[in-house]
Amino acid sequence: MLLEAVYHQPKSQYAYAYDNETLHIRVRTGRGDMDRVSIVWGDKYHFTEDTVTTTDMYIFAQDELFDYYQAEVKPPFRRFAYAFRFEKGSRTVFWNETGFTEGKLASGGVGMLWSPSGMFEFPFLNETDVARPPEWVKDAVFYQIFPERFENGDPSLTPEGAEAWTPDAVPQRDNFFGGDLQGVINRLDYLQDLGITCIYFTPFFEAYSNHKYDTIDYLKVDPQFGDNEKAKELVEKAHEKGIRVMLDAVFNHSGYYFPPFQDVLKHGKYSRFRDWFHIRSYPLANDPLNYDTFGFVPEMPKLNTEHPEVKAYLLETARYWIEDIGADGWRLDVANEVDHRFWREFRDVVKTANPDAYILGEIWHNSLAWLGGDQFDAVMNYPVTNSILDFFVKDEIDAENFMGRLDAIQVSYPKQANEAAFNLLDSHDTPRLLTIADGNKKRMKLAALFQLTFTGAPCIYYGDEVGMDGGADPGCRKPMIWDETAQDHDLFGFYKDMIALRKENRAFRDGSFQFLSAEKGADTVVYERSDEKNRFVILMNKGSRRQKVRLADEAGRTYEEVFGSRSAEVKNRRLD
Amino acid sequence: MLLEAVYHQPKSQYAYAYDNETLHIRVRTGRGDMDRVSIVWGDKYHFTEDTVTTTDMYIFAQDELFDYYQAEVKPPFRRFAYAFRFEKGSRTVFWNETGFTEGKLASGGVGMLWSPSGMFEFPFLNETDVARPPEWVKDAVFYQIFPERFENGDPSLTPEGAEAWTPDAVPQRDNFFGGDLQGVINRLDYLQDLGITCIYFTPFFEAYSNHKYDTIDYLKVDPQFGDNEKAKELVEKAHEKGIRVMLDAVFNHSGYYFPPFQDVLKHGKYSRFRDWFHIRSYPLANDPLNYDTFGFVPEMPKLNTEHPEVKAYLLETARYWIEDIGADGWRLDVANEVDHRFWREFRDVVKTANPDAYILGEIWHNSLAWLGGDQFDAVMNYPVTNSILDFFVKDEIDAENFMGRLDAIQVSYPKQANEAAFNLLDSHDTPRLLTIADGNKKRMKLAALFQLTFTGAPCIYYGDEVGMDGGADPGCRKPMIWDETAQDHDLFGFYKDMIALRKENRAFRDGSFQFLSAEKGADTVVYERSDEKNRFVILMNKGSRRQKVRLADEAGRTYEEVFGSRSAEVKNRRLD
């Protein structure tokens, strides 16, 4: 046994409450190392050889180096003391906090009278600590709208010097096209037809730039887009069509023209707003920077989210758009650079305003520290983005590696965070999917199909569905193509069908996910998604040649085509 | 390289802020596996081959299976992106979130324009998130008092039927001896003479039992002990002598005679307090229990700390004793079974009342989930208790195992939590140290010496210092021996000297700790504690035979005896 490979951490993604009754317990071992892994558990106040239960664990994920085992358990009194039992050949090893012991479960230490010492513990399942993302997120199909570029519905608001809204328009860092909220209202039918159930808006609050990530007033719709009444109308009309609305909270930093920052620029250390930012000396200077900023951008001063006035202002912002305007969630820009303490208070405010609001962090790296139930419901799932792109689109990894990376992500977080994850393939921050695919629509479709059939909520970047392309910012921010002669109708039909498939079948949203084939060097993957009602088997081949795949235990099963009317039985190990 | 042994988790005990400028980064490898480990790091917004820094890591802890490396770094803009570099022979492997790569650092994924993708990140060091236990705890020597058994200072309060306060008194589960707060006031000089700087009181709030863990009124001193004025007088007089006071918060459960519980017993589901507890059906029943309790004790109903009224009551309790009475901290009984959310609010209330108050959780198992800076300052350090007892007292493990277990604890938590840990060897919950040692005073002294020279604040259980013995509860709760003819003066002198040594030398409280010798099968350990001023080398032999130990790199050093006037130089590899 490779004991160095064995890993577990109590009260982490390896031991968490999934709901008010159920704990998920995981343990990692070397790949293929163990014959059998089980968990020996009981109530810490009544833990004897007679009262403990032994529960088998199953491999629920694998990567290159490791097997990850899981078991789901329901401790009757919500207290859970446990150890692991590993079996390999004739050898049995137990593991708890006292270490590994051969053959028998050890306890150690002075202990209390009535309790074993040295066990791992999940001491009590308190309901308030259970991470519970909103149920609707599992069922959602998101659509990201960059407001300046989706549709011009009110020409009276169009900025002076705005460029013509044509399919061949060229977005620049600083040009405008005239998109606005009325434009989105006008196109709600389009979104409903496509099957969208939630719009994610990049910021539409008053700001200087075209991307509006440099906020001037967090409580006001940018006049180029409309006003707060229009935002409320938009939310209400979207809700009528079964479409929710998620907004973008840029709380890490303000814009250059944010009045408190202007006040500091003007009055320096005498400004009453000086502590709203992180300033090291006066007057403010750029080279070297003597105040904290987003990246090294002097125009985006980092907000001091530890300051009571800043907190009050931003938390009122958080409340206002949810409670007064009716928005259904917040996507948190640069969420990882704001203090955890702020996000805990933010969560309280948002969930008080609407317990069903979705809190989504923009974090590009491992996000465990934000997903304990006290901060975010989920994060933007860039590790999944990258895995899908690397396998289907860029052809950089093989099926085995693809499976390993996706499985590793499943292990990185509690299950509920993965179920509510925000799975995107591109955005206003990246090149468009079709461009990453070098215009190869087949690869693009494979990537989108995987995204739309995987665990977690998919998000489509506006216009991908009609074949829009574009490189990194600003290229990916072209005005939406509404000219039907310039739209890709085949692609639109594909997206519409796949979205409908996901929405019509719970198995794709809430069912189990398992790879059936993902071999070393292979271009093909096969996976299943199933619930009590249906079992879907998806076979995907990203190569240019016809492939055969071998699946275990399929003999005698009958398959029906999802898009088509054929059905066939597996006979003589073949499905024809 | 044994890649399966390599472990790191961002934003955990493996990557945390130690102060407002400094990050501690740790990584685990197989024992003895690597020649060199370093960290490659930079600012995520300016991360290129030219701008990254490479910092060597050092082995700061070892156990049977692993080496644990650490480096301390100060990222200039408080943002930190990083990867690890492992070297062994001619092989170099880099590791970041994209996985292991041979020879060169990989980045992967779509990334943003200005940032590397796939690095580990500590995205921003926000001051408010830094775990910062009170500075005074490092310097403290605690003394645990069980109020009913320390001293009877006011006979008018002594309960009817109290037994005689004699050295051979026999404590029972339900008898009384008449200890009270005036008694403690009377003995403050004694504690000052011993060198104590903080008293930890088990509960003295109104309750039914002699141990007072079954609270009736959290805002009132038990009439057997005095009143709130007396408590305030005690705190003030202790403070005058440089002695702080920590109280015991039993917030997991109330007592049977807690009026809200009595109300539920009487009115069942019609009680307005029914939601103060976790009740599954009415009327309340014991067999089977239909409500949550501490352990399976029907008389200790678990409080619903999610309920707003319960929270308000307990949080007012937390505030009152700190702010109005002047107590210096709270020890939290059964802290692990109360919800994390409650403890976060509790911390806010307590630290607002007194930012220097100490918050100490009673947790017997791995406590990482409570030590992130948002809940407790530290926990009762039972893993250290057990290691010291197993090695010095019970003779169950060898020096190598002892070192491995202590080192593993250092790795389990951020450094500041270990520095503020509460290191006890016994308590009202365990047999007394002398009894665990089967009366062997030499072993007891070795254990106490180690405790008093180790990282973390030591706590002496009342009476250990005068040679009191006693088995598990109730045996360990004898009335304090004040009869000087029955006290062990040698032991008292030993404790007093060792406490003075610790207090006089910062190296023992705040210095580095390192084992110099701890070999397989050995009865001897050698360790050093040092700061800028002094270096102490402690050699301990728990065996009955004279031992030689070999230390590296000591040639030419001169040693002075701590207790004595001799000094000697290491010559020809000998110190005589």
The superfamily (CATH) of domain B253-304 is Oligo-1,6-glucosidase; Domain 2 (3.90.400.10)
Strand arrangement of the beta sheet that strand B512-517 belongs to: B512-517, B524-530, B535-541
Dihedrals phi, psi of A415, to nearest 5 degrees: -55, -40
Segments in A300-361 forming alpha helices (H): 308-323, 340-353
**Cα first-last separation, chain B:** 43
Handedness of CA B364, B367, B369, B375 (dihedral sign): positive
The helix/strand/coil state of B480 is coil
Distance, CA of B332 to CA of B362 (rounded, Å): 6
Kindly list the domain boundaries of chain A, sorted by start residue: 3-129, 140-252+306-508, 253-304, 510-569
Residues A302/A252, Cβ–Cβ less than 8 Å: yes
Positive or negative: CA dihedral A263, A264, A269, A271? positive
Q: CB B11 to CB A369 under 8 A? A: yes
Cβ–Cβ below 8 Å for B108 and A386: yes
Residues 6+ apart with CB under 8 A from B409: B381, B383, B384, B387, B418
Give the pair of three-digit tokens for residue A462.
Answer: 């506006």
Hey, are the CB atoms on B4 and A2 less than 8 Å from each other?
Answer: yes
Taking an 8 Å cut-off on Cβ atoms, the answer to whether A374 and B341 are in contact is: yes
How do B36-42 and B422-424 pair as beta strands? Answer: unpaired
pLDDT of residue A237: 98
| B531: Cβ contacts below 8 Å, ≥ 6 apart | B506, B507, B510, B511, B512
Q: Which residues contact B91 (CB under 8 A, 6 or more apart)?
A: B1, B102
Residue A38, both tokens: 């089980």
**Predicted pLDDT at A114:** 47
What count of other Cβ atoms lies within 10 Å of the Cβ of residue A497?
Answer: 15
- Measured between beta carbons, the chain B residues lying within 8 angstroms of A30 are 4
- The Cβ-side half-sphere exposure at A334, using a 13 Å CA radius, reads 24
Q: Decide if B324 is catalytic.
A: no
d(CA A443, CA A453): 15
What is the per-residue pLDDT for A116?
Answer: 64
The residue in chain A having the minimum alpha-carbon distance to the alpha carbon of residue B292 is A77
Helix and strand numbers (H, E) in chain B are 14, 25
d(CA B343, CA B99): 36
CA distance B278 to B304: 6
Quote the CA–CA distance of A547 and A48 in Å, as a whole number: 55
The radius of gyration of chain A from alpha carbons, rounded to an integer in Å, stands at: 26
Show the tokens assigned to B410.
């250092």
d(CA A231, CA A211): 17
Give every CB contact of residue A267 below 8 A, 6+ residues apart in sequence. Answer: none
Categorise residue A194: left if φ over 0, alpha if ψ from -120 to 50, beta otherwise. alpha
Q: Residue A408: in which H helix or E strand, if any?
A: helix A399-412
Instruction: Give me the phi and psi of B88, to 5 degrees please.
Output: -150, 120
Positions of E strands within A5-97: 15-17, 23-30, 36-42, 53-56, 58-62, 66-73, 80-88, 91-96
Structural tokens at position A261: 């920052």
Would the CB atoms of B340 and A126 count as touching at under 8 Å?
Answer: yes
Q: β-strands A329-332, A80-88: how paired?
A: unpaired
Please check whether residue A261 is in contact with residue A254, taking contact to mean a CB–CB distance below 8 angstroms.
Answer: yes
Q: B292-306, pLDDT tens digit by residue? A: 999 999 999 999 999
pLDDT at A570: 80
Could you list the pLDDT tens digit for every one of the 576 residues in chain A? Answer: 999 999 999 999 999 999 999 999 999 999 999 999 999 999 999 888 788 999 999 999 999 899 999 999 999 999 999 999 999 999 999 999 888 999 988 776 544 444 567 899 999 999 999 999 999 999 999 999 999 999 999 999 999 999 999 999 999 999 999 999 999 999 999 999 999 999 999 999 999 999 999 999 999 999 999 999 999 999 999 999 999 999 999 999 999 999 999 999 999 999 999 999 999 999 999 988 999 999 999 999 999 999 999 999 999 999 999 999 999 999 999 999 999 999 999 999 999 999 999 999 999 999 999 999 999 999 999 989 999 999 999 999 999 999 999 999 999 999 999 999 999 999 999 999 999 999 999 999 999 999 999 999 999 999 999 999 999 999 999 999 999 999 999 999 999 999 999 999 999 999 999 999 999 999 999 999 999 999 999 999 999 899 888 887 777 788 888 888 888 888 777 776
**d(C-alpha A316, C-alpha B73), whole Å:** 37
Instruction: Give the minimum alpha-carbon distance from A233 to chain B in angstroms, rounded to a whole number.
Output: 34
Give the span between the Cα atoms of B297 and B209, in whole angstroms. 14
Residue B17: helix, strand or coil by DSSP? Answer: strand
Nearest CA in chain A to B428: A112
- Closest alpha carbon to B121 in B42, B215, B200: B42
Three-class DSSP category at B457: strand
Q: Using CA atoms, how far apart are residues B134 and B136, in angstroms rounded to an integer?
A: 6
The answer to whether the Cβ–Cβ distance between B110 and A436 falls below 8 Å is yes
Which of B67, B151, B362, B400 is catalytic? The answer is B362
* Domain over B3-128 is classified CATH 2.60.40.10: yes
A-B C-beta contacts closer than 8 Å: 191
Nearest CA among A281, A266, A225, A271 for reference residue A248: A225
Nearest CA in chain A to B107: A386
Q: For B19, what's the count of Cα atoms within 13 Å in the CB-facing half-sphere?
A: 7
The Cα of A335 is separated from the nearest Cα of chain B by a number of Å equal to: 9
Give catalytic status of residue B362 as yes or no.
Answer: yes
The Cβ-side half-sphere exposure at B513, using a 13 Å CA radius, reads 20
- All residues of chain B having their beta carbon less than 8 Å from the beta carbon of residue A10 are 365-366, 368-369
Residue A525 has φ and ψ, to the nearest 5°, of: -130, 150
Rounded Cα distance, A35 and A14, in Å: 20
Cβ pair A567, A477 in contact under 8 A: no
Q: Which candidate in A63, A180, A214, A362 is catalytic?
A: A362
Q: Would the CB atoms of A383 and B10 count as touching at under 8 Å? A: no
Within 10 angstroms of residue A494's Cβ, the number of other Cβ atoms is 18
pLDDT on residue A572: 74
- Running along chain B, 576 residues long, what does each successive block of 10 average in pLDDT? 98 97 98 97 88 94 95 96 97 93 75 64 97 97 98 97 95 97 98 98 97 97 98 98 98 97 97 97 93 95 98 98 98 97 98 98 95 97 93 94 93 96 96 97 98 98 98 96 97 98 96 92 95 94 89 80 84 73
Contacts of B338 in chain A (CB under 8 A): 124, 126
Closest residue to A65, CB basis, from B3, B46, B369: B3
* Topology (CATH level 3) of domain A140-252+306-508: TIM Barrel (3.20.20)
Q: Are the beta carbons of A126 and B436 separated by less than 8 Å?
A: no
Distance CA A185, CA A153 (A): 8
3 state SS of B230: helix
State the DSSP code for A15: E
Identify whether the C-beta of residue B391 lies closer than 8 Å to the C-beta of residue B399. Answer: yes
Chain A CB contacts of B127 below 8 Å: 306, 339
Strand, coil or helix: B353: helix
Question: Which of B110, B296, B342 minimises the CB distance to A389?
Answer: B110
The DSSP secondary structure of A437-493, one letter per residue, reads TTT-HHHHHHHHHHHHHSSSEEEEETTGGGT----TTTGGGPPP---GGGS-HHHHH
**Helix (H/G/I), strand (E/B), else coil: A154:** coil
Give the three-state DSSP class for B267: helix
Would you say the ipTM is above 0.90?
Answer: yes
Instruction: Quickly name the fold that domain A3-129 has.
Output: Immunoglobulin-like (2.60.40)
- Which pLDDT belongs to residue A106? 78
